[in-house]
Amino acid sequence: MENNLIHLTIDGVAVEAVPGSTILQAASAAGINIPTLCYLKHLTPDASCRMCVVEVEGRRGLPASCTEEVREGMAVQTHTEKTAQARRFILDLLLSNHCTDCFTCPQNGACRLQDYCWEYGVEHTSYQGKRVDAPKDVSSPFFNYDPNLCIMCRKCERTCESLQCRETISIQGRGFDTKMTIPFGRRWKDSSCEGCGNCVAACPTGALTAKGAKKFRPWEVKRVRTTCPHCAVGCQYDL
Ligand code: FES
């Protein structure tokens, strides 16, 4: 090892990475794109979606690249028939509990789940059965929540907890009754939510959409680095 860096190859490209970093971080620094749904760079990985699986030479199974740390001499492949098959399977499962009538979704055309389904050729689910069928929650003054579009990546909850330190959002319930809400049955307008919008920005589907963005399609809005106005610390956001 030179300069305390780890040397590995990703898709045949020689890459150097800081010890302790993950395959996903090393790949991203090298300009190699790995699909993710639950990963957010500022947050501790949740590893719940498994879209980021990769093949590592000499290792059984497909590890999640967002949690697998780099090792000296590692050879990683990010796009193989095996990883594509695994991703198609994950998308198939996600669609088994997700509305596929994208034309009615406010996030149509700017949805990461839709993008991956297109990329991996998954148009419909092969699993028929019960789905979440819950009413939309429009009680927040800042956003709407559609539980039928939620893929339980928990980005909203983790963003609220880690970036905004509010811990307003909580994922509660079991099975089909699991949903994003606030603890103790309080209403959004009585909660500590200040409408920072980080949960909406983090959502990879149309489950959380900003009320104020109604007049604009997602691709008409520009994402900018901004400063949180809620205290004197001046936290910077660029989700
Ligand atoms: Fe790695 Fe979801 S991004 S498991």
Q: Report in angstroms the alpha-carbon separations of 54 from 1, 3, 68, 188, 191.
A: 24, 27, 10, 40, 40
Judge whether 7 lies within some domain: no
Judge whether 124 lies within some domain: yes
Residue range 142-148: mean pLDDT, rounded: 90
Residue 142 has pLDDT above 70, yes or no: yes
pLDDT band at 43 (very low <50, low <70, confident <90, very high): confident
* pLDDT tens, position by position, 102-115: 988 888 888 999 99
Q: Are 144 and 211 in contact (CB under 8 A)?
A: yes
Residue 62 near ligand 1, beta carbon < 6 Å: no
Judged by DSSP in three states, 2 sits in coil
Judge whether 8 lies within some domain: no
Atom of ligand 1 nearest to the CA of 48: 4
195 token code pair: 């409408």
This complex has an ipTM of: 0.98
Judge whether 58 lies within some domain: no
User: Considering its fold, how many domains does the chain have in total?
Assistant: 1
Q: Where are the beta strands (DSSP E) in the chain?
A: 6-10, 13-17, 55-56, 75-77, 143-145, 170-172, 179-181, 208-210, 226-227, 236-237
* pLDDT tens, position by position, 187-207: 777 788 888 888 898 999 999
Atom of ligand 1 nearest to the CA of 65: 1
Measured between alpha carbons, how far is 107 from 206 in angstroms, rounded to an integer?
Answer: 5
Whichever domain contains 129, its CATH number is 3.30.70.20
Instruction: Please state, rounded to an integer, the average pLDDT across all residues of the chain.
Output: 88
pLDDT band at 215 (very low <50, low <70, confident <90, very high): low
Judge whether 57 lies within some domain: no
Residue 237 near ligand 1, beta carbon < 6 Å: no
Judge whether 114 lies within some domain: yes
More confident call, 224 vs 140? 140
Q: How far is the CA of 46 from the centre of ligand 1 (A)?
A: 7
Q: What is the pTM of this model?
A: 0.86
Mutate to test the pocket of ligand 1, among 28, 50, 112 (most ligand atoms within 8 A of CB): 50
Residue 6 near ligand 1, beta carbon < 6 Å: no
* pLDDT tens, position by position, 67-108: 999 999 999 999 999 999 999 999 999 999 998 889 888 888
Residue 51 near ligand 1, beta carbon < 6 Å: yes
Q: How far is the CA of 28 from the centre of ligand 1 (A)?
A: 14
Judge whether 147 lies within some domain: yes
